[in-house]
Amino acid sequence: MFRHDDEKDMGFNRDFFRNFDPGNFNFAKNFRRHGGMRYYVLWLLSQKNLRGSEIIETVQRQTMGWWRPSPGTIYPLLNALLKDGLIKKEEDLRYSLTPEGAEEIGLRPGQSKKVNTEGWDVDKIITEMEGYISYLEDEQGGLKEYSDRIKEIADRLSKLKLE
């Protein structure tokens, strides 16, 4: 049970939820207002160099057409990121992430900027499995009908060569 002090510590804003009207909630406006677009653009540029127009198209594609940021959103943001030294403009007019930009989004020096979106590595698979196991531990009530499959999976895992 939450106490009033806990709500403050967690950044809980009771008035926001009391006055929240989903019909009037503008995701794009709130995303930009809270700096989300800044980090999203930096992340996109960590994947590959892009022109401003390509950033607009990528956002539209990744949101399945739900949101297409305007040039009035993207280009002032790119200029601010240039000024802050987080990106640079290449000769082909594409923007690239600087080491400072990589640090801003949490990439460590020497860490690959490219996210493996096509395949999975062992660490990612194990992390996913741990998450699923935690979920199953929370939801133990309906697992009886799956007990044979769970035992089979446990058996297969125990046979993996861990050398």
Distance between CA atoms of residues 14 and 18, nearest Å? 6
CA of 163: how far to CAs of 120, 158, 160, in Å?
20, 13, 9
| pLDDT surpassing 90 at residue 93 | yes
Q: pTM for this one?
A: 0.52
Shared domain check, 11 and 87: yes
Shared domain check, 91 and 40: yes
Query: What is the per-residue pLDDT for 90?
Result: 96
Q: Which two tokens stand for residue 116?
A: 């493996």
Q: What is the pLDDT of residues 101-138, one digit of tens each?
A: 988 888 766 555 555 555 566 777 788 788 888 888 88
Shared domain check, 129 and 85: no
**Mean pLDDT for the stretch of residues 26-34:** 54
What is the number of structural domains in the chain? 2
Query: What is the per-residue pLDDT for 16?
Result: 44
CATH number, domain with residue 97: 1.10.10.10
Domain annotation covers residue 27 = yes
Least confident of 45-59, 67-81, 121-135: 121-135
Shared domain check, 65 and 9: yes
Query: Is the CB of residue 31 less than 8 Å from the CB of residue 37?
Result: yes
Shared domain check, 150 and 71: no
Shared domain check, 138 and 61: no
Higher pLDDT, 15 or 131: 131
Domain annotation covers residue 61 = yes
Shared domain check, 129 and 49: no
| pLDDT surpassing 60 at residue 32 | no
- Domain range enclosing 141: 122-158
Distance between CA atoms of residues 51 and 38, nearest Å? 15
